[in-house]
Amino acid sequence: MNHAPGPRPAPPPGQLWRHARLASFQPGTPWGWVEDAALWVEGGQLRWVGPDAELPPAVDGHRPTLQEIDLLGALVTPGLIDAHTHLVYGGDRAAEFEQRLQGASYEDIARAGGGIRSTVAATRAASDEALFQAAAVRARALMAEGVTTVEIKSGYGLTEADEARCLAVARRLGRELPLGVRTTSLAAHALPPEYAGQPDAYIDAAIAWLAGQQRAGLVDAVDAFCETIGFTPTQTERLFHAAQALGLPVKLHAEQLSDQGGAALAARFGALSCDHLEHLSPAGIAAMAQAGTVALLLPGAYYFLRETKLPPVAALRAAGVPIAIATDHNPGSSPCLSLLLMLNMACTLFRLTPEEAWRGVTVNAARALGLHDRGRLAAGLRADFVVWNAEHPRELAYRYGHNPCRRVVQGGQEVAR
């Protein structure tokens, strides 16, 4: 795919997509299934969605300007949403992968000053343009599988200027690619070398940067890495108070490597999501259920770090906690650029049903980002959808290493492929 920079042209007059097998993820029926569906797209939005045989009479008045597309029974789903990525960074960690294969743990490497901090050094050394070009290649790989919205975290700059640079690169991706982008400030990702031994002073600095990031329109949410190799619950709480004072929603890397009580803490702040959660306790589950916080599971990181402790999926399900799935794309724990592969891994590794996995990259992923205009296909929502060379979405959770994406529509416009 090639996309020229600059403003996108105005949406075309309108389209009528007919004879789709539709997984709308509207409530009421499994998959929000409509066997023979039509979608009327106008001005970047869905004007009407339903059984083809029940097209509203109003559509007739628009026929002269509507482009009609017969899908001949192809599957249509919402555009996929990757609700947790670290897409903007310099360098790679292939050598660290080799070290881990020889027995070093992710935590050992982090404590020795490698891990996230080695990516911080490479990110600081990279130009804005190099960061943008590398991230655009990654974004296009996700988009090639039908991703239409992506969340992108900072967290590899760890100075005021470098964090702002990374967030600005993420915003630029949203302007120059046909892709919805939500940005998250993750300055509390690791302790930078300048603050060695002074984590509280670093948290004070990260708090001080937030208002400027918000004024510059660079941040939609605030995240932290609450972990023995990250920040303590008390430090996380101070950051969250600052986010709350600015009206910014929070989310948390919680209970990935140990139980820090981070999920319950984040839930007290009404967190959009708690992410990873392999070591989540029953108390954490109860707090998330009460707050309506999404459990964002990351099977790519679980797999790549060769974890053995599974997130408590059955208990999350029983408590009614919404579950989402994402790539967690990052150079250290999940260098994965396939959300379709995550569908398969969520089923095989975490025992989600194919429908739960799909909800995790559509309706619940939108919820994890606080977005109400996407993740389902219904009148009044964004026209973000994918046409697949498949008949049913369960096929996409079943095959892996296979990309049957045929056409992608984002904001009512077909994405060039």
- Is residue 42 involved in binding Fe ion (CB under 5 A)? no
- Is residue 145 involved in binding Fe ion (CB under 5 A)? no
Give the residue with the Cβ less far from Fe ion, 96 or 328: 328
- Is residue 278 involved in binding Fe ion (CB under 5 A)? no
| Smallest gap from residue 75 Cβ to Fe ion (A) | 30
- Is residue 328 involved in binding ligand NIG (CB under 6 A)? yes
Q: Determine which helix (DSSP H) or strand (DSSP E) holds 147, and give its type and residue range.
A: strand 147-153
**C-alpha span between 368 and 184 (Å, rounded):** 12
**Binding window for ligand NIG (CB under 6 A); candidates: 135-143, 209-217, 326-334, 363-371:** 326-334
Residue 180, classed as helix, strand or coil, is strand
**Binding window for Fe ion (CB under 5 A); candidates: 70-78, 231-239, 254-262, 324-332:** 324-332
Phi, psi of 354 (to 5 degrees): -55, -35
Two tokens, residue 26: 């509207």
**Binding window for ligand NIG (CB under 6 A); candidates: 323-331, 335-343, 368-376, 403-411:** 323-331
Give the residue with the Cβ less far from Fe ion, 22 or 152: 152
* Phi-psi sector, 25: left (phi>0), alpha (psi -120 to 50), beta: left
Phi, psi of 34 (to 5 degrees): -130, 120
**C-alpha span between 186 and 164 (Å, rounded):** 11
- Is residue 355 involved in binding Fe ion (CB under 5 A)? no
Size of the site for Fe ion (CB under 5 A): 1
- Indicate if the alpha-carbon torsion angle 255, 303, 152, 116 is positive or negative: positive
**C-alpha span between 131 and 90 (Å, rounded):** 6
**Binding window for ligand NIG (CB under 6 A); candidates: 139-147, 202-210, 260-268, 327-335:** 327-335
Among 256, 338, 364, 413, binds ligand NIG (CB under 6 A): 256
Two tokens, residue 199: 């984590």
- Is residue 301 involved in binding ligand NIG (CB under 6 A)? yes
At position 339, the amino acid (one-letter code) is: L
> Which residues contribute to the site for Fe ion (CB under 5 A)?
328
> Which residues contribute to the site for ligand NIG (CB under 6 A)?
86, 115-116, 119, 225, 253, 256, 301, 328, 330-333
